[in-house]
Amino acid sequence: MLDCPNCIAYPRKFDSCFLQFDFYKFPEEENMCHCSQAICTEDAHEFLNFLLNELVDILEKEAQGSKTDQETLSPSQKIANGHKNGPTNGFHKEPLVTWVHKNFQGILTNETRCLRCETVTARDETFFDLSLDIEQNSSITSYLKNFSSTETLNAEDKFFCDKCCSLQEAQKRMKIKKPPHILVIHLKRFKYIENLGRYKKLSYRVVFPLELKLSNTVEDADIEYSLFAVVVHVGSGPNHGHYVSLVKSHNHWLFFDDENVEMIDESAVQTFFGSAQEYASNTDHGYILFYESLGSGNQN
């Protein structure tokens, strides 16, 4: 039994970056409180994306500052520091890969096959998280299995084939080319309802397992993940509410609610799946899921 939850609740790994981070410097036009279409809320998913991109900017500035310091060294100092015969022009400059990219970034491949000439066109795009539309009584496992389902492009949605030089019927699918070390899954619990003229929170029951297999990769090899954190939205609607989180540390699950931290049983995680009925007293629903890849080693 651990003596104190606080001993395992506050890792120091990212302190150096967060000491430089100003959470109150958002430009007015990019403020995290969006007041439009009858919704005003600080969204945890939007903040996560802002945070990751801001950390990348900080790390890139640090690297650029280090490069500038190296350029001011004398030739003998550069050789002593291991920069002898290094490239001096920008033609072979590689993009900086930070620990944010190494841990959170994956690559998706969009494949489109022309049904006339059978030519396959592939386009890659990077991602920090996967956002999933949700339905009642569903599961993350089923969503990911259907993630690479084939879509037929026809009628007004025909694909322009460069080889045929014309619009053609085609089949399109998406696969994961490079799975991230940390897989972040965003459940889209806030939906704009046209006839209501406002956003509504979807309290649907969505099962997220403690262990997850990612099978829709380009290499067709299953990647195993383990759940280690959940951001939970507490509240009946998008205009008000509160965020709490569940974090697994040293094989124990911790419940964070502002400054309050307590240890919970692993079985308690399932109470945040959502509600099987539309109107239920429980308003605590899993919103953002964090899975860590197993067997790939710890990446810093």
Closest CA to 288 of 197, 188, 190, 207: 188
- What pLDDT was estimated at residue 300? 41
CATH of domain 34-85+100-293: 3.90.70.10
Its pTM stands at: 0.78
DSSP 228-282: EEEEEEEEEETTEEEEEEEEEETTEEEEEETTEEEEE-GGGGGGGS-BSSSS-S-
- Contact criterion met (CB below 8 Å) for 185 and 254: no
Three-state DSSP at 214 gives strand
Tokens of 236: 């009946």
Please report where in the chains the tokens 């919704």 appear, as a residue: 39
Ranges of each domain in the chain: 34-85+100-293
pLDDT tens digits, one per residue of 162-190: 999 999 999 999 989 999 999 999 999 99
- Contact criterion met (CB below 8 Å) for 34 and 280: no
pLDDT tens digits, one per residue of 14-55: 444 544 555 445 444 444 444 333 334 478 999 999 999 999
Which stretches of the chain drop beneath a pLDDT of 50? 1-2, 5, 8, 10-16, 18-19, 23-24, 26-41, 76-92, 297-300
Tokens of 11: 């890792």
Three-state DSSP at 94 gives coil
Tokens of 168: 């053609």
